[in-house]
Structure 1
Amino acid sequence: MPGLGLRVTATGARSYIFESRLFGKTVRMTIGSPKAWDLAKARTEAARLKTVIDAGQDPRELMAEARSAHEARAAAAAAQAVTVGEVWPRYLEEGRPKRKDAWKPRYLADLQAMAAPGGEKKKRGTGTTRPGPLFPLMALTLSELTEDALKSWFDREALAGKHQAARALMMFRGFLRWCAARPEYRALVDRDAGTAASIVEALPSSTRRTDALEAAQVPGWWSGVEQLGNRTASVYLRALLLTGARREEMAALRWEDVDFRWRKLTIADKVEATRTIPLTDYLTWLLGTLPRVKGNEFVFASRGKGGRITDTRASHAKALLSAGIQGLTTHGLRRSFSLLGEAAGAPAGAIAQVMGHKPSATAEGYRPRSIDALRPFLQQVERHILGLAGVNFDPEQQTIGLRAVK
């Protein structure tokens, strides 16, 4: 067979080779070892290669294309086998919200809990924890996240709790959007699988909360909160009402964020990184009554794992029971600040700035005010709330005394 040869190296290794010319250039290819190829098969392979070259094709290029196609098929098959559980940790690491440096700690904890396998000893009570609502989806491959699969999952989870299942679905939609934005996962997921009509129709109706303190309820609420055995929770709840801050914003407050000298409070903000508001007279005194726990930087310190207050619902429930008030959430205190601020005569723009609302052109036309310009309005709101609560407070007779405890 012309072009077929046997190459022997200096070490004695032998292999069949084929050599020919294509477009004036030498083409040489190794066929294989004589141990694997007998002479007849080597001649047949050489004849095939000769036919390919005579047709104007380079067998080396054809082999490279075949190898690339094989690798692409293997990569596609591997990608098809990628499960949600394998991608989920990366989503938690990289999938932060737009314009944010990282997840909010509370939301990240919720994401982790939603996909937790369960089976751990409960922190309260006996027994073990149940798997999170999203845990059954962790075993599915990304390509299996179809409308039918998500509808079947949602129907099962809704039997245990429809609102919890709906919240889990909303979180999982964020995961689908993130995957659809990644080149390596884009072809594997259906971004809109979680928004299909069959699923949306099964979602529970959402009603916007409107709970807030009425003026006549302020004295009972204040008295109930003031008498709480947990001093930290008592001050925390009153601080929410006096500032309109979101509960996590206030809970994350550090002592370094409290400027007693220039009477300012720097709060981690939902829209911006932080916002600074005036520190009013009564709130200054109130925060000053809290002890500083050695080694703990948080204002509302706790012995829990996070070092700060996390959940005051039980304490708030006691105060509400004492006051005979029903259905008031801690977020309702934020709405209460807004309504009571309006009743006190503070401008809508000033109230919005203190609360950290996104700037808009509503009401008086939003224009940011300096701390000094905000201070009289926030003092006005505080005096109005204290007046409703029946609190007689004279800032001239009060001193700030921080107590350090071990």
Structure 2
Amino acid sequence: MKQSVARVRLTAGRIESFACPPGKSQAFLWDTDAPALALRVTPTGRRTFVFEARLAGESMRIAIGTVTDWPLGEARKRAQELKRLVDAGIDPREEERKRQQQRAAEAAREAAEELTVRSAWLRYMEEGKPKRRDAWKPRYLADMQRMTAPGGEPKKRGSGLTLPGHITPLLSLRLSQIDEDRLTAWFLAESRRSKHQATRALMMFRGFLRWCSIQPEYRRLVSTEVAKGAAIMDNLPETKRRTDALEAAQVSGWWAAVAQLPNQVASAYLRALLLTGARREEMAALKWADVDFRWQKITIADKVGDTRTFPLTSYLSKLLQGLPRAKGSDGEASPFVFASASKTGRIADPRSSHERALATAGIDGLTLHGLRRSFSLLGEAAGAPAGAIAQVMGHRPSATAEGYRPRSVDALRPYLQRIEDHILALAMGTSSDH
């Protein structure tokens, strides 16, 4: 409430000479030119302009600022502005809160506009993940890091320095700058270097944009459609569904070439892929604890489920038992069946060994996944039911045409043994009657 003091016309001299009486916590000097404006003085000598009025029967007091920061004319003008709001039934304090919120929102928008692709990408690598998976696969994560590497490092093989990753040119841009024209120009430039790698980089970046589109702080800045412009789509390399697989006549040459590989672990690994139809990463991650030699069973981590268990056939059992029990850098026995000196401690990239065997056998274009297809086709030729083949390979019943009913390990055993016998007969060049 106002103190009972006489109103005066505030001047610089009166402001300077006005003091707080002894024993008082504050004193007010009210202006006649702007009746809602007062000079407030404390015992310490601090002088502040304040506004005071009544709204809806309640008194309010709002600090305008110190006399050092506010010239008297500006303080009167501010008091009159506040008085007009009060007369209109508006609480100036609420208006100020709204202005502060608007300023904060605008500052946030401006900060978001300055957000770079690099900062969002780093968070994407940390928090993003593929559909139905808990985390990135190590190999895909390594590819993401390679695609965004700055380059300029000595090459591990050959002379010279490494080139920047294909996504690297986008990292310095603001996220809000990624539009169709800019992304098209980037893709066409990277395609001149390597169309295949540029396409892979584009697919990675599409995944990044999809992730950004569901993040509250990023979704306003991106569009998933910018990576689907006509100029980009028209320049994508033609995709062909792989159908590579071993022909029956090729099994003998392939098997002999693989068996002769100097790397015993890679040799056994490749044959295990053909004999089980397992995915390459599933077999690479196989641990000794997952192989039950007593009850002749194997349990592997499944791509689409937790684990799956299938019979350990006779030849594969002997093949695995013949592998050396490798030791890690700590001198302890490696837990992995297909152990190696790689960072993961298990076989990392057997493609070079496989390519050497293919060259020896005179077979072109057979991928590691082609061995999985080969198992399926050779299994059919051996007379095994499609459901049994699909179950061993790790296909869900709902994903197969026959929608099979899962069999027990014992029920699968004769079928998987029949497939192994058929493959071995082809490998040894003998007839197989099934």
TM-score by shorter chain over 0.5: yes
**Of the candidates 352, 355, 378, which is equivalent to residue 416 of structure 2?**
378
One-letter amino acid of the counterpart of residue 102, structure 1: A
Q: How far apart in 2 are the matches of 1:362 and 1:304?
A: 36
Q: How far apart in 1 are the matches of 2:227 and 2:316?
A: 45
Q: How far apart in 1 are the matches of 2:361 and 2:305?
A: 36
Structure label with greater radius of gyration? 2
Post-superposition offset of 1:232: 0.7
1:203 equivalent to 2:239? Answer: no
Post-superposition offset of 1:358: 3.3
Q: How far apart in 1 are the matches of 2:132 and 2:43?
A: 65
Alignment of 1:51-62 (within 5 A): 51-62=84-95
| CA-to-aligned-CA distance 1:50-94 (integer Å, 9 cap, x gap) | 122112222212211111111111100001111111011211122
> Which SS does the other structure have where 1:236 is aligned?
helix
Match of 2:336 in 1: 298
Give 5+ residue unaligned stretches, structure 2: 1-33
Q: How far apart in 1 are the matches of 2:378 and 2:39?
A: 97
Q: Is the 8 A contact 2:209 2:222 kept in 1?
A: yes
Post-superposition offset of 1:385: 0.5
1:272 equivalent to 2:294? Answer: no
Q: How far apart in 1 are the matches of 2:214 and 2:377?
A: 41
Q: How far apart in 1 are the matches of 2:297 and 2:370?
A: 24
> Which SS does the other structure have where 2:305 is aligned?
coil
Match of 2:14 in 1: none
Quick one: structure 1 residues 254 and 46, their matched pair in 2 at CA, closer, same or farther if it must change by over 3 Å? same
Aligned length: 392
Quick one: structure 1 residues 128 and 299, their matched pair in 2 at CA, closer, same or farther if it must change by over 3 Å? farther
Match of 2:393 in 1: 355
Alignment of 1:25-40 (within 5 A): 25-40=58-73
Match of 1:157 in 2: 190
Quick one: structure 1 residues 361 and 244, their matched pair in 2 at CA, closer, same or farther if it must change by over 3 Å? closer
Match of 1:397 in 2: none
| CA-to-aligned-CA distance 1:366-406 (integer Å, 9 cap, x gap) | 211111111111100000001111189xxxxxxxxxxxxxx
**Of the candidates 340, 343, 358, which is equivalent to residue 320 of structure 1?**
358
> Which SS does the other structure have where 1:326 is aligned?
coil
Q: How far apart in 1 are the matches of 2:83 and 2:90?
A: 10
Q: How far apart in 2 are the matches of 1:54 and 1:354?
A: 82
Post-superposition offset of 1:362: 4.5
Post-superposition offset of 1:282: 0.7
One-letter amino acid of the counterpart of residue 282, structure 1: Y
Alignment of 1:56-205 (within 5 A): 56-205=89-238
> Which SS does the other structure have where 1:248 is aligned?
helix
Post-superposition offset of 1:363: 4.8
One-letter amino acid of the counterpart of residue 47, structure 2: R
> Which SS does the other structure have where 2:50 is aligned?
strand
Match of 1:346 in 2: 384
| CA-to-aligned-CA distance 1:173-208 (integer Å, 9 cap, x gap) | 111111111111111110221123332221111011
Match of 1:399 in 2: none
Q: Is the 8 A contact 1:347 1:364 kept in 2?
A: no
Q: Is the 8 A contact 1:266 1:276 kept in 2?
A: yes
Which fold has the larger relative contact order, with Cα–Cα distance below 8 Å and residues 6 or more apart in sequence? 1
Match of 2:36 in 1: 3
Q: 98-107 or 356-365, which moves further after superposition? A: 356-365
> Which SS does the other structure have where 1:124 is aligned?
coil
Q: How far apart in 1 are the matches of 2:266 and 2:417?
A: 23
Give 5+ residue unaligned stretches, structure 1: 393-406
Q: How far apart in 2 are the matches of 1:120 and 1:243?
A: 41
Quick one: structure 1 residues 233 and 391, their matched pair in 2 at CA, closer, same or farther if it must change by over 3 Å? farther
Quote the sequence identity (%).
64
Q: 350-359 or 121-130, which moves further after superposition? A: 121-130
Quick one: structure 1 residues 365 and 62, their matched pair in 2 at CA, closer, same or farther if it must change by over 3 Å? closer
| CA-to-aligned-CA distance 1:92-133 (integer Å, 9 cap, x gap) | 122112222112222222222222222223332333322211
Q: How far apart in 2 are the matches of 1:200 and 1:275?
A: 39
Match of 1:337 in 2: 375
> Which SS does the other structure have where 1:291 is aligned?
coil
Q: 41-50 or 57-66, which moves further after superposition? A: 41-50
1:247 equivalent to 2:315? Answer: no
Q: Is the 8 A contact 1:114 1:133 kept in 2?
A: yes
Q: How far apart in 1 are the matches of 2:45 and 2:293?
A: 88
Q: Is the 8 A contact 1:349 1:363 kept in 2?
A: no
Match of 2:30 in 1: none
One-letter amino acid of the counterpart of residue 123, structure 1: K
Q: How far apart in 2 are the matches of 1:119 and 1:263?
A: 52
Match of 2:292 in 1: 259
Q: Is the 8 A contact 2:213 2:219 kept in 1?
A: yes
